[in-house]
Structure 1
Amino acid sequence: MSKEIVEQDGVFKTSFPEKIAYALGDVGCNLVWGLASTFLTLYYTDSVGLSPAFFGVMMLVARLLDAFSDILMGVVIEKTKTRWGKTRPWIIIGAIPLSISIVLLLNVPAGFSPIGKNAYAAITYIFMSVISYTIVNLSYHSTLPRISTDSQDRSVASSVRVLFTVFLAIITNVGTPMVLNAFGGSQSQEAWTLISIVYGIAAFILLAICFFGIKEKVALDYNEGGASEKHSLIDSFKSVASSKYFFLLIFLFINGSLSAGYGAVGPYYARDVLGNMSYFGTNTIIVVLPTLIAIVMMPKIFAKFGKRRTILVGYLLTFISTGIVLMDPHNVLLYYFGNVFRAFGVAPYTVANFTLAADLADFGEWKSGIRAEGFVYGCTSFGMKVGTGIGSAILGLGLSLGGYSAAAAAAGRPQSDSSIFSMIFMNLGLPMLVVAGQFIMIYFWDMDKIFGKVKKDLDAKRLREHAIAQEK
């Protein structure tokens, strides 16, 4: 793909081929992370026979380890200086272990004892999440403020990224249950092995396309113009942590990522509450059109009304539509209807979340002169993983406390009333609480009021640096 540098008056933007390559990188990441987040619990409970409670605690422990790996990787990125840039090399470096990790994760040896299976699950999950995924995903998202210095262009690039992940969701949420059913259900190890190998190979190919298809541009002026200065982790922290936006961003990612953990209740909910796991895949297809419409419209809506106001309206719509489904949680048509409006509601934050991090990196540079996107994205990655870990712990403990029975699932028998209640709460009640929390935090994210001046000042700064670089 073309890596032609699109630049005007010192402001760098992404070309269309570069936007595609950037989006494919997220697809590669989410082939592994999305599969693990949505179906790993089902694999562990129904095929391997692990306790949901153990799985939930294991996920939470892994997230605590992420507190160190994410910050460490952020520091590594800050100190990286290669011909390919600061962040981009780590995408291809981490692609190989990430692709291998999903195969290891979904192939627990049948001959192991229960303790051995628990140990294997913990080790392979930590290898995937704490090490491999941290390297790739943190590096990937840290590239956004380095391949584009224009806020509107970032929103467009992020919209393309989300657009591609929507199609990925169709493949995983529809295709995975189809493969499972074709090979004998969620108890079939053969099916999980096939899925893991295909997804692992595809993830590596897509991440390689991303690496070769994008180019860091901010680094050009920094390296050539002499504007790059070495700074410590403390300096990076001070550059962004002196504002409320830093702490709001971390909590937004923690709270907003809870659903990536407890959201894995979706297949259980479709099968045991609604009556058929295929409803989960059908729902994914139904929400595609409203999701696509919302994503395509987002950049223009952001430009006219601002990110904050748009996200607030979206969360209000999400809260109301989820509450409507909760009125009759066993109604399949209401489930589809509510999720269509939920798709419109969550689209603004889904498109904007990582652009908020890029805006914070700009804000920190504007205030302190230090650009610390590696540190910022390390913190957001940490928040995302902590949220996912807590959400997964809630899922595991919720299924366990509700009395979920893998034996009943294998025999086609209904779950107990307490188990059904726990699934309904995690699929509908808990998301309403999360959305309420997100609404409150976004309400205080008022950077839109000053970001025009931030952008103007930084553009002028980069224009000066660009002129210096051209003279050398």
Structure 2
Amino acid sequence: MSTARKLSVAEKIGFGMGDAACGIVYSSVTMFLTYFYTDIYGLSAAAVGIMFLVTRVLDAITDPLTGLVADRVRTRWGHFRPWLIWFAIPYAVLAVLTFTTPDFGESGKLLYAYITYTLLMLCYTFINIPYCALGGVITTDEKDRLSAQSYRFTISSLAGLVVSVATLFLVDWLGKENKQFGFQATMAIMGTLAVIMLFFCFFSTSERVRPKVETNSSMMDDLRILLANDQWRIVAVITFFSSMAGVMRSAATLYYATYLMLGGIESAAGTAMKSAFVSTSVVGTIIGSIAAGYLAQRYRAVSLFKNINLLLVVIGVVMFFVPPTWLAVVFPLYFLVGFFHQMYQPFKWNMMANAADYGEWKFGRRITGLSFSGNLFALKMGMAVAGAFVGFSLGWFGYQAGNPTQTMLATNGIIGLLTIGPSISYFILYWLSRFYTLDDKMMSQIQRDLAHREQAEEINTPEVTPALISTGANNHG
């Protein structure tokens, strides 16, 4: 049984802590792992690109399987919350191991990177899929759910700010001249913070929407229902390109700040400069998350999503033509990229919850865990393709790790990866939004129909066939 009781501020903060825990490691991966592998660990850019792509093959099995299992888990704490504490400590340990440089040969180090990165992303799956599904069952009130998502991204952005500001300073302070140990020790701190936040999220949230667990339904039936959900398919593609844009930009940022700003590595490699530039975008994400909650109460979410992506296209193109040494222009532009990119994130994740509601409304079965697992698979595929693209591109551009003077091709390539590449993804998101039909009016109709259906079940009256609940089903199928 579900209830639309409004979430308290404490519950929204607790919910946001779960994403902060995921993000404190995810941000470390997107911001620093490519740079760590090439400039600290000692792998070639091409090898890193291949690894990011190959290791995602496993997700095609583990992501939907995790969602299917989560939907069928029954504990007194719910379907999804227990996963947060089951895998919290392994998640932290694997984060440290991934940023550890073993004393192996070249082949051994590459194998070690494959194993640790794969296990880290697997553990991320076991936490993040149930956590994301939790966002769809904490309330049935769409505006309240969107408010919770705004809290979520504000808090996770603060965690990202901690990562962007503190990581390089901690690496220098803890590792001194030994950057390999510095990264390892820094991730131990980040992992400990993640464990604390995951436990906080578990104890401060609850699952109010309790879907029926239909043990007689097969996993293949659930997969068929998911793939038949046209709105879920649109949201999954949106998730892929959104991830592409964010990860491509994040992976290129440190190269841009290290080799291009203020004229090259010798003047721009200072920890303060790099941390300041990385943090500029993250500060923008914090303010963007807060603004999203304000705007969501006053404007249509779909229109906001569409227009924000168009603005990001324009900003990226402008930034491509601005010399990296024009700090007074580059810093504000990069702030705006973070501001607008994060502003639409609550809308995107609310789209996922809406698609799950739509699937229940249309097919008469709720598969929240599988629905979110499919979206997380799309997110990680975007992350993998973007990481691989950056690695391959750096190799093709002739990038040389640690070389103070990069070629003109490598310089322009790094700028393009930071600006034009993400802009292409944002333009695709702008175009895709026209196919998303779950606007405020449609979602109000869906929630009313689901509430009536639930009431009918409670008084033991025959349930109306989903296809006959509303003629709108024929218009959105």
TM-score when normalising by structure 2: 0.89
Q: Which residue of 2 aligns with 1:104?
A: 97
Q: Which residue of 2 aligns with 1:173?
A: 164
Q: Cα distance, 1:108 vs. partner?
A: 2.0
Q: Please tell me whether residue 321 in structure 1 is matched to residue 315 in structure 2.
A: yes
Equivalent residue for 2:247, pick from 261, 268, 276 = 261
Q: Which residue of 2 aligns with 1:248?
A: 234
Q: Which residue of 1 aligns with 2:80?
A: 87
Q: Structure 2: which 5+ residue stretches go unaligned?
A: 263-267, 461-477
Q: How do 1:16-27 residues align onto structure 2 when only pairs under 5 Å count?
A: 16-27=9-20
After superposition, the Cα gap between the structure-2 partners of 1:460 and 1:301, relative to the gap in structure 1 and judged at 3 Å, is farther
Q: Give the 3-state SS of the residue equivalent to 2:405 in structure 1.
A: coil
Q: Please tell me whether residue 433 in structure 1 is matched to residue 424 in structure 2.
A: yes
Equivalent residue for 1:215, pick from 187, 191, 206 = 206
Alpha carbons 1:180, 1:186 under 8 Å: kept: no
CA distance in 2, matches of 1:447, 1:404: 45
Letter in 2 for 1:336: F
Q: Give the 3-state SS of the residue equivalent to 1:377 in structure 2.
A: helix
The percentage of aligned residue pairs carrying the same residue is: 27
Instruction: Out of 376-385 and 321-330, give the one that drifted further.
Output: 321-330
Letter in 2 for 1:319: V
After superposition, the Cα gap between the structure-2 partners of 1:266 and 1:290, relative to the gap in structure 1 and judged at 3 Å, is closer
Q: Give the 3-state SS of the residue equivalent to 1:91 in structure 2.
A: helix
Q: Please tell me whether residue 340 in structure 1 is matched to residue 339 in structure 2.
A: no
Q: How do 1:394-405 residues align onto structure 2 when only pairs under 5 Å count?
A: 394-405=389-400
Q: Please tell me whether residue 376 in structure 1 is matched to residue 371 in structure 2.
A: yes
Instruction: Out of 92-101 and 185-194, give the one that drifted further.
Output: 185-194
After superposition, the Cα gap between the structure-2 partners of 1:229 and 1:202, relative to the gap in structure 1 and judged at 3 Å, is same
Q: Please tell me whether residue 352 in structure 1 is matched to residue 347 in structure 2.
A: yes
Q: Cα distance, 1:152 vs. partner?
A: 0.7
Alpha carbons 1:90, 1:139 under 8 Å: kept: yes
Q: Which residue of 2 aligns with 1:296?
A: 290
After superposition, the Cα gap between the structure-2 partners of 1:284 and 1:406, relative to the gap in structure 1 and judged at 3 Å, is closer
CA distance in 1, matches of 2:458, 2:154: 33
Equivalent residue for 1:143, pick from 131, 134, 150 = 134
Aligned residues between the structures:
449
Q: Cα distance, 1:185 vs. partner?
A: 7.7
CA distance in 2, matches of 1:464, 1:160: 34
CA distance in 1, matches of 2:422, 2:175: 32
Q: Cα distance, 1:329 vs. partner?
A: 3.5
Q: Deviations over 1:242-294 (max 9, x none)?
A: 34212211111111111343221111111111132544432455456654444
What is the RMSD computed on CA atoms of the aligned residues? 2.2
Q: Give the 3-state SS of the residue equivalent to 2:312 in structure 1.
A: helix
Q: Cα distance, 1:119 vs. partner?
A: 0.4
Q: Which residue of 1 aligns with 2:119?
A: 127
Letter in 2 for 1:391: A
Letter in 2 for 1:295: S
CA distance in 1, matches of 2:172, 2:208: 47
CA distance in 1, matches of 2:32, 2:147: 30
CA distance in 2, matches of 1:12, 1:372: 22
Q: Cα distance, 1:424 vs. partner?
A: 0.6
CA distance in 1, matches of 2:327, 2:176: 22
Q: Structure 1: which 5+ residue stretches go unaligned?
A: none
Q: Which residue of 2 aligns with 1:46?
A: 39
Letter in 1 for 2:132: H
Q: How do 1:57-68 residues align onto structure 2 when only pairs under 5 Å count?
A: 57-68=50-61
Q: Deviations over 1:343-390 (max 9, x none)?
A: 343234211222111101100111111001111111001000000000
Q: Please tell me whether residue 270 in structure 1 is matched to residue 257 in structure 2.
A: yes
CA distance in 2, matches of 1:311, 1:241: 24
Letter in 2 for 1:191: G
TM-score when normalising by structure 1: 0.90
